Amino acid sequence: MTGEHLTEIPVVFYRTSGGVEPVRDWLRGLPLGDRQRIGFDLAAVQFGWPVGMPLCRSLGGGLWEMRSSLPSRRIARILFCVHEGRIGVVHGFIKKTQKTPQDEIDLARKRMKEMTA
């Protein structure tokens, strides 16, 4: 990697009209090791985009899912979009079922529309 420069894509978090950043708030509530793992994975996306499986997969319509296996033996998902040269993080949750729940996807799509409008 001598002389090679990695391109960084800025990461922005969804913010409500009241200035609340729900994904950041959710992250702050996680144990330190879990936050660090998610941060490491998000950096891999930020510096290596486009990233495919097993870290990321498309949910269609411009929405992507980042998959993180946490030290707490749980699985986290960060849902994001890439728009105008930025990674827009719109939702995060601990996965409890095999399939990503539709209500989590619907919330992420709603937030993505707000961010990209």
pLDDT at 57: 96
Using DSSP's 3-state secondary structure scheme, residue 33 falls into helix
Q: CA angle at residue 62 from 72 to 25, to 5 degrees?
A: 40
pLDDT at 7: 85
pLDDT at 1: 46
| CA 94 to each of CA 5, 10, 52, 90, 115: distance values in angstroms, whole numbers, following the listed order | 34, 24, 20, 14, 23
pLDDT at 114: 96
What backbone torsions phi and psi does residue 30 show, to the nearest 5 degrees?
-85, 155
Tens place of pLDDT per residue across the chain (117 aa): 455 667 899 999 999 999 999 999 999 999 999 999 999 999 999 999 999 999 999 999 999 999 999 999 999 999 999 999 999 999 999 999 999 999 999 999 999 999 998
The residue type of 90 is V
Q: Give which of 30, 12, 101 is closest to 70, Cα–Cα.
A: 30
Q: How far apart are CA 80 and CA 93, in angstroms?
A: 12
Peptide bond into 22 cis (omega under 30): no
